[in-house]
Structure formats: C-alpha cells, structure tokens
A and B are shown apart, each in its own frame.
Chain A
Amino acid sequence: MNKIEPSFRPGGKLAKLESVYDGMETFLFTPNSTSKSGAHIHDGNDLKRTMITVVVALIPALLFGMYNIGYQHYLAIGEPSTGWFTMFLYGMLAMLPVIVVSYVVGLGIEFISAQIHHKEIQEGFLVTGILIPLIVPINTPLWMIAVATAFAVIFAKEVFGGTGMNIFNVALITRAFLFFAYPSRMSGDEAFVKVDSALGMGGGNVVDTFTGATPLGQVATSVGDPSMTSILGTPITITDAFIGLIPGSPGETSMIAILIGAAILLLTGIASWRIMCSVFVGGLGMAALAHALPSATYPASMLDPATQLCLGGFAFGAVFMATDPVTGARTKVGQYIYGLLIGVFAILIRVYNSGYPEGMMLAILLMNAFAPLIDHCVISSNIKRRARRAATKE
C-alpha cells in the first residue's frame, strides 16, 4: 500500500483518486497517527466500528429477507416444498443486484464528493447502502434504485455536508423518492413478491390464486372486517407476521430477525433505547386507541395493537431508522418525545389515511424534520434555567 502511495498525493499522476486511496488505506489499516493536541490517549472506538456494528445488526434481517424472497417465490409458482437452501439461494440472487447497485451508486457519489472537497471518505453510506435493499420492494427495477439512491445521496446528504450533517435519513429518502416518483411499482400485487427468475434461477408460472399484496396493503383495501391472506389465500396470523414469512420489503417482515438486530444495537449501546422503546410505546398506544374506536371506513383500525406492530415496516423502522442519531433528536428528553411521536404518527397514517397503507416511512421523515425543534425546546429549558439562576443572584 505504501509503495503506491506517492502517485496518489498531490502532483502524482493519480492525484485525482487521493480520497479513494485514503479511503481504501484507512479501511484496510487503522492509521497509526498520534494525537497532536489535547488528550494523549483515545478510545479505540471510531465511526468505522460504529457503522460496521450497525451493519452486523442488520445481517439477521438481511439473511431472513433473502430466504423469505425465495419462500414467497416458490409459494407463488406453486412449489412450496422446495428446499430451504434453494429458497435462500434464489433470494440471495434476487437481492444481490440490488445491494450491488445501491453500494456502487452511493459509494461512487461519496467517493467523488470526498475528492471534490479533498476530504476523507466517510463511512456513513456503509449502513445506508445495506438499508436501501432492505426497505425497497424486491421487484423495483435496478435503474429506479440507482436513480433514487443518487437522488438521496446527493440531495439529502452531500448538499448538507456529508455524513453527520444530513437532516433526513438517506435510506428513507431513497424509498420516499421511489414511492412518490413511481407509485405504481411500489405497491399492489407485483411489488413485493418476485415471480420471475433471479439471475436465471427459479422461473415458473404463477399459481391461479396468487395475490402478492402485503398484509397491510390488503387491509387498506379491504371492506369491513380486515382480512389478510398469504399468497395462496390462507389467512395470515400474528405468528406468521412475527416469524416473517409474509410478503413485504426484504428486511421488514421478520420480527425475530429485527429483534436480534435490536439486541445487538442496544447491547453495544449504539442505538438509543429511549428512541426505540418510545416508538413502540407510541405505536402501541395509538394502535390501541384506534382499536378502541373501530370504524368500517378505516379497516386498519380493526387490527389489534400487537398485530399492528408486527406488520409492515414498523419494527424495522423503529429499530434501524428512527434510531439514526444524525437525523433523530439528540437530547435525552427529546428522544422520548421524538420516538413517541414517530410511533403515534406511523399508526395514525396507517389507519386514517387510506392512500398510504404504511405510515412508518412518512412518520420518521416527518419527525426528522421536527427533531431539531424538539431539541431546541429541550435546550431552551436548560438555557432558561441558567438565565434564571443568574438573575436570582443579582
């Protein structure tokens, strides 16, 4: 590595790739640079480790998501007895292109941006790049993912100054962009279950009874008592939703996988338990309220609160998206308020806005916008307390 270094420094023939070189070098080797001012010793933790730990926490959801894609696929083509490994392989082949596109586009833009500003490449996209494949419907065309990722990285992140400076969660902006730019591809029968072959594997004809809509999508369009069925028309129970063998975005379906990730995030102390818990509390409260006042106009209000939380992207959002420290509230009191309101709004949108069967994305983005205001109010009380203290002294 050191041998090729000079050609990347200013004046070298590859100077335009200096940031890329630095990025690669610091990725492979933690630099041995020593402190110049201030504290002489430093904690071993850095942002790379922090981000990698989040990626590790996402792996259970990722693996399960791959399996579930295969499972839903073979269910849809009428071969439910296919072996689990084949299902997993199919799902992996289906997701791989999405992951590659997300990382190539996102990291490409990060590299270019870092080079323009002559800064080190920052590792924020490590997490975003894996979140995106987990929250977009599997049938989203790759070019759409590329466009949406590019849009999100440039306009939600780089224009604000890069990692740590963004106002909105970048992965959610990607999904929101897709959601509003190509609504027809983001919901309904065709979005969430991949029926054609993945990289040449597992093609077949769809069974007659096939309905590929997510449970929440079904609820939103149902009349009277909400009914949720699997691809084959059998009813979906809360257990199915908890295990996660239901149609949906790859990462969001399995409560179990998400809870494993949540445990990793909480044990390592990376995610704020204040936010995570209060999102669930807020969601549970709102769902209970809606359930107490059921209305045929709003079929989702008939779902019992526990099922509400297990369905859709609620849990995934609560664990991995709402807890994004950069876009969330940063004060302790603020984090309770922030999380609570995310939970409330997510269910509110789900139940009372029939246009959007899933409210989590919009709730988090909305609260991203309000997080600085919440913090401002919390800090104002600290400022007032200090001012009052000074005043009584005089």
Chain B
Amino acid sequence: MATVRLKKGFDINLLGAISDNSIVATGQPHSVAVVPDDFHGMIPRMEKKEGEHVIAGEPLFHDKNHEAIKVVAPVSGTVKEVRRGQRRHIDAIIIAPDGGNDAITHDLKRSSLELLLDSGLWVMLRQRPYDVVPAPDVRPRDVFVTAFDSAPLAPDLDIVLGDKRQYIAKGIEVLNGLTDGKVRIGMREGQAIDAPGAEVTTFVGPHPAGNAGIQAANTVPVNKGETVWTLDIVTLARIGELFTTGVVSHDTVVAINGEMVQQPRYVSTVMGADLESVLKNEMTNVAQSRIICGNVLTGVKVTADTWLRAPYRHITVIPENNKPDEFMGWASLNPNRFSIYRTFTTWLRGLAKPVSMDSRIKGGERAIVRTGEYDAMLPMDIYGEFLIKAIISGDIDKMEQLGIYEIAPEDFALAEFADTSKLELQRIVREGLDKLRAEMS
C-alpha cells in the first residue's frame, strides 16, 4: 500500500464541528426534490409529468444527448411540481412522498453498464476531463474512489458509510468490470476499510488531499485523451448494494454543522429531503445564516425552504454577513480577523484554532499580483496561476498544455479562499471546462 505525502494545502478549522458521532433519524420528509443542476453536463428531458405517480428508482428525466443516462425518484410519491426558471430551465422536480416504501427492484442478470445507467446511480459518478456526468460510451482508464473528505467541517465518511461498508467489495468488483485499468481508492492515514480488488493509496496532508482529482494527480495523472471516473466511497457502497440486492438505496447520512447550528450532528434522511425536515430547529438564527449544501468551499448556497441537494452529505450553516462595513479593515491588527498570511496577525493566535468565518469576501477583485498563492493550495504538478490565465484568455491550446484535463473546479476552491486578488476561481475553471467540452464535441 503506497503512501503519498502532500505538503501543500491548508485545513481551515471552522467553529461548529460535530462532537457527538451518533446519528439522529429525521423521519419522513414533507417533500423531496431533485435539482437537475446538480448533475453538471446533463440536459434534462422530462419523463414524468406533474401529477404522475412515481415509485422510488423510477426515472424522472433523462439526458438529451444520452437517453440512457437517467435521474430517478428517491422516494415513492406524486410529482407535485416541475419548477421552471428562466427560459424554461428546470430548477427542481418536487415530489410529495406518499409514505410508501415502493421501490424498483432491478434484474441483476443484465450487464453492469445498463444496470448502473438504469438505476440512476450513474449520475453520481463524475468523469475527468470536464468534471461532468460520464459519457456511457467511453470506457474509463481508471476509477478513482476517495474514501475521505478533507474539506472544512466535512463529514467523516466512515460514519456516513455505517454498515453499508459491507457492499464495498461488491462495488469494487462491478467497477473493475467497467474499466480497463484499476479501481484506485484513496484513504487517509489510519483508515481501515476492507477493499479487496482495489489499489489502495494512503494520503497524508491537509485539504485538498481528499479530492479525487488531487489523489489522481499524485498517483496516475489524467492525460489528454484519457477518461477516468471519480466518486466517493459512499457511492461505491451504494453501487455494491444495488448489485447485491437489486435496489438502490436513497437513504443518506448528512452532517449538519457550522457556527450557526445549535447542536452539530449527523442525521439520517433521504436524498433530496426538504431542509425544513432535516434542519428542523437546529439553527440559531435563520435570518442571519447562510445555509450551504456541501462544505464552505465548494457547496451551493440554498435557502431554508429548499431541499438537500443530492450529491452532498453535508450541510454547513455559517453566519451571513450582518455586520456594517468594517472601518479600515485593511489596517486591522485584530488576531481574530482570519488570514493564513502573516500580513495579518492571525498567526499569533495560531491558525489551527477553531475560527468563526462569515460569507464576506473582504476585499475587491483585482488582477493577480501575488505569486505562488494558488500553487501553495494546489498539490498537483500544475502551474495554477498560468492555467487560470490561460482560461481567462480563452487559449484552448494553453489550457490543454497546462493540464486542464486533470482539474475540477473543486480543486481550486481552496485557492479561491486564499486568493488575495479575490478572483472567482471555481467559476473561471468551470467556464473553461465547459468551453473546452463544447469545443471538443
């Protein structure tokens, strides 16, 4: 078992961590929704209309370009509303659960590829390049599974996994049949997950060591023309479960934490459950909170009247800024004004101590001035700053040469946090990937 030590990166220790690892059940959600935007790269075509009844595992919509790629209902119930936004963009498909446990049982004798596509688990996979839902007609070179999440306040995937870990071996077996290469699992030090048939690598170091892209880049990097899949260990177990029982499990364990949560804890619920039923009275002050599905670096901002977004096993609630403009904030000598740089005095109080951070940007957007900031947060053999510049200038050849195929927006999330010039790096990377994808097809 190989060990990779990563020095670059940083662990942001936010207030509001979970101290009690027990899991609380939230009960039946009032409504459940699927948000097509969570499956980047898909263009949804509806299969169900408003008012139709669905059972768990039944397709709600498929992809316009690949009809085989389906997104399924996580619960049985009635399609209450297909909420549309501008230009008829589908914002959410809302299901009123009927409380039943009806679910589709799949025939296990079919080919793994078909079963995976039909079950709706396919859309939980991501492919590099482009960080999108994989194309079914491309066999991946390797499959990268990350067994831990290193992001700020991230859930311990061992806890999320629970007794589903029994299905991991089956999941590995299935994915081994779908790739010409190997299933490569990245674990953190001391993590003991039985993974027969997979190549396990241990990663030691700060965030973003848990990102699949970082793990791939430090073991077998993605080259131009190659495709790999990335997923986390929980999805791997779900695949194993499907191929053992024939049923997809849409139950999920979610970490609810952050400074604005009264009692940070793990809850068990259903993918897509309404946040009201998940958060209940957990929040200290709804009006002054920012609810994030996912972690503070890569998650999506949501409102309390929406739903748990399917790909995330984490809800972070941090203070939304409610303070007045800070008088001469640039002159502050306050050690609690958090900065990883020594231009501020945070280092005097220790960077590892838990810190309160709100959603302020704390500065204006500027041209890239300081050197090496991105590289220090990106443990890959990539010149981050030059890649970002290539993307901004739309130079496709340069993007390719500098390694855009190896990255996903999440890999630049920490650099975005640390950026003195306050550029929206994840948006820039996403636009670059989308542009490249459009150009290549």
Contacts and interface: CB of A to CB of B under 8 A. Distances in A.
A201 B184 CA distance: 78
Given A29-B325, A50-B370, A325-B371, A386 B359 contact: no
Interface residues of A, number: 58
Interface string A28-40: 1111111111111
Contacts of B332: 44
Interface in A281-329: 325-326, 328
B368 A164 contact: yes
Given A38-B426, A269-B342, A325-B369, A379 B386 contact: yes
A246 B420 CA distance: 39
B150 interface: no
B221 to A, nearest CB: 7
B425 A38 contact: yes
Contact of B326 (A32, A43, A330, A375): A32
A33 to B, nearest CB: 6
B225 interface: yes
Nearest to B382: A382
A287 B406 CA distance: 46
B371 A45 contact: no
A34 B419 contact: no
A43 B419 contact: yes
Interface in B208-225: 221, 223-225
Nearest to A165: B367
A47 B426 contact: no
Contacts of B375: 332
Nearest to A375: B386
Contacts of B421: 47, 164
A393 interface: yes
Contacts, number: 204
Given A46-B422, A330-B371, A41 B318 contact: yes
A32 B324 contact: yes
B369 A326 contact: yes
Nearest to A270: B343
B323 interface: yes
B181 to A, nearest CB: 11
Contacts of A43: 338-341, 362, 417-420
Instruction: Give the one of A26, A43, A162, A379 with max B CB within 10 A.
Output: A43
Contacts of A389: 221, 223
Interface stretch (B170-178, B229-237, B261-269, B296-304): B296-304
B371 A41 contact: no
B274 interface: no
A354 to B, nearest CB: 36
A35 B361 contact: yes
B366 A122 contact: yes
B300 to A, nearest CB: 9
A391 to B, nearest CB: 9
Given A33-B360, A331-B383, A382-B381, A45 B344 contact: yes
A118 interface: no
B381 A385 contact: yes
Interface string B372-413: 100100000111011000000000000001110000010001
Contact of A39 (B226, B386, B416): B416
21 contacts: A29-B328, A33-B360, A34-B321, A35-B359, A38-B427, A40-B297, A41-B417, A43-B418, A43-B419, A44-B337, A45-B341, A45-B362, A267-B342, A268-B341, A272-B371, A272-B372, A330-B386, A382-B381, A382-B403, A385-B381, A390-B223
Interface of B: 12, 14, 152, 221, 223-226, 290, 292, 296-299, 301, 316, 318, 320-321, 323-332, 337-344, 346, 357-364, 366-372, 375, 381-383, 385-386, 401-403, 409, 413-414, 416-422, 424-427
In the A-B complex, the 6 residue pairs with the smallest Cβ-Cβ separation, listed nearest first, are A46-B363, A164-B367, A30-B329, A29-B325, A390-B223, A44-B339
